[in-house]
Amino acid sequence: MKKNLLLVALFIASVSFAQKKLPDNWQTLDPTVDKVYGVGSEEALKKLKDKKSKTVIVAVIDSGVDPNHEDLKNVIWTNTAEIPDNGIDDDHNGYVDDVHGWSFLGGKNGDIDHEATELARIYQRGNRKFSKLDTTKLTAEEAKEFAEFKKTRTAYNKEEATAEQQLLGITMLSTYLDNVKKQSNGVLNKEALNNYTPQNKTEKKMKSGLKLAFAFGIKPEELEDQIKQAKDQLEGEVKFNKMNADSVREYIVGDHVNDVNERYYGNNHIQGPDALHGSHVAGIIAGMRNNNLGINGIADNVKIMVIRAVPNGDERDKDIANGIRYAVDNGASIINMSFGKYYSPDKKAVDEAVKYAESKDVLIVHAAGNESKDNDVELSYPNRHLLSGEIASNWINVGANASDGGKSMIGSFSNYGLKEVDLFAPGVDIYSTIPNNKYTKESGTSMAAPSTTGAAAIVREYFPELKSSEVRAVLMKTVVTYKKKVKVPGAKKGKRKIKELCISGGFINVNNAAKELMGLNKAK
């Protein structure tokens, strides 16, 4: 699921949050040179300027990407073996007119926007089955399955109650903003907030949070967009979790939803109904550099292959497995996966695709998750642990860090894990591309993953002889360490050192990696 900024509205309503005002490109900067904990790509590219680079294809498996964005259109991958829009599979790869990538969420009857969560889909299937059975006369096998279903039902009811509560909170905030704007002739700014008298304690809290947000550089229009995104996402979740999601899917896409071995379905609508998340991810990795527009992406010689497989809701294992295989078969050397969930009924299919990518030397970069959880205690999916007992060597799991030193260095939302999260990367207040030639700030491990992917792409560009496992190894070896203790996401009390929160013990830094690979580091 691609969580939009952790439901920003709920942040504002419940906590005070702020960072110092940052340059829009802080994720590309270097802690030693610029005093912010970016990936150091600007410094790395200076060191590498006399070295020839090789174009790297990066697959972005996400919600879709706007291929016409002013800062992305020149970095979108093109399948030169395919003739556009002729309705023929010219390259015989099984996908018709896949000029810039493929969508596993579309079909003859449209394109999926909202989906149910995985838990809801599992519950709905079980409910359809057991509502037709006399549960007092079950076979031993059915009784066992029914016991599991009851656990699922309990978890589903809890998830639904939480979503409905969150939707109520964000609707209240949206209504509050509407009231402020009505009183100020449609204007939303600090002055409009000051002139509006809160009607209750909740509105007082909202006013305080919004004023703080504006004071630290959050633009009103960005805030409204974030709230709209979160409200739309929650409304979709509440609605679609109550539906027969499999039937909706089969009608729109036209595939056999439970056939995990089915490969060739979907369409070439790579933008889809909501490409905000994927466009933001793509911009972080490879937004056109030095073109006097918007942003500079981290990597300087990348083509983005667009694979649409992540809806508003939980992605399906089948689509992710096929997305990975499509990326590998069509030349990607890095796959960015800024999504995750906590149920995976067809994990075997995803595992086999991950193993396939590993066999073809394709690096996978995955977002650790935005639930302030310890991944050592609760794994999210997909992950590097294969059902076969093997551990994928081509996998980097990424948590999110903020820009400057201090106790709040780790994003308050970020998952972590001494055994499961490899490193931390920029993921708080990241400015990047969104559809229709616009830009905005987003936060999440969804942003930390492409920050890492961009760094990995630089390594693969300039040191193409390195295997995917070696790229991971050098990025792990050259992290920037941090001696002070930091707040543990989700914990009310207590602090830990970074080396207790991730495997590498630090923050990604491709400048250090470049120095290491160029032999510029002093012998230790």
Q: Write down the pLDDT at residue 522.
A: 57
3 pLDDT exceeds 70? no
Q: Write down the pLDDT at residue 13.
A: 37
Tell me how many degrees the CA angle 421-423-427 measures, rounded to the nearest 5: 100
Two tokens, residue 266: 């979907």
Peptide bond before 382: cis, by omega within 30 degrees of 0?
Answer: yes
349, 433 contact by CB (below 8 A): no
As a whole number of angstroms, the distance between CA 454 and CA 39 comes to: 9
Say what the pTM is: 0.93
pLDDT 10s digits, 264-278: 999 999 999 999 999
DSSP string, 84-122: TTSSS-TT-SS-TT-SSEEESSEETTEE--B---HHHHH
The more confident residue out of 20 and 99 is 99
Two tokens, residue 305: 């292959």
Cβ-in-10-Å burial (0-12, 13-18, 19+) of 3 comes to buried
446 pLDDT exceeds 50? yes
**For residue 350, how many other CB atoms are within 10 A of its CB?**
25
444, 468 contact by CB (below 8 A): no
Q: Write down the pLDDT at residue 8.
A: 43
pLDDT 10s digits, 421-431: 999 999 999 99
Q: How does residue 210 score in pLDDT terms, banded at 50, 70 and 90?
A: confident
For 410-435, what is the mean pLDDT? 96
341 pLDDT exceeds 50? yes
Q: What percent of the chain has pLDDT over 90?
A: 79
For 447-468, what is the mean pLDDT? 98
As a whole number of angstroms, the distance between CA 460 and CA 370 comes to: 28
What is the Cβ-side half-sphere exposure of residue 392, based on CA atoms within 13 angstroms?
29
Q: Write down the pLDDT at residue 192.
A: 86
pLDDT 10s digits, 475-484: 999 999 999 9
pLDDT 10s digits, 150-194: 999 999 999 999 999 989 989 998 998 999 999 898 888 888 888
Domain boundaries, the chain: 17-111+265-517, 118-237
The more confident residue out of 64 and 219 is 64
As a whole number of angstroms, the distance between CA 208 and CA 215 comes to: 11
Cβ-in-10-Å burial (0-12, 13-18, 19+) of 202 comes to middle
As a whole number of angstroms, the distance between CA 336 and CA 303 comes to: 13
73, 436 contact by CB (below 8 A): no
As a whole number of angstroms, the distance between CA 191 and CA 215 comes to: 12
Two tokens, residue 398: 């990424």
As a whole number of angstroms, the distance between CA 91 and CA 329 comes to: 12
pLDDT 10s digits, 4-54: 444 443 444 333 344 556 788 999 999 999 999 999 999 999 999 999 999
Tell me how many degrees the CA angle 453-488-158 measures, rounded to the nearest 5: 90
As a whole number of angstroms, the distance between CA 448 and CA 100 comes to: 24
If you search the block for the tokens 């205690």, which residue do you land on?
Answer: 377
Residue among 428, 449, 448, 443 nearest 226 (CA): 443
Domain 17-111+265-517 sits in CATH 3.40.50.200: yes
Return mean pLDDT, the chain.
Answer: 92
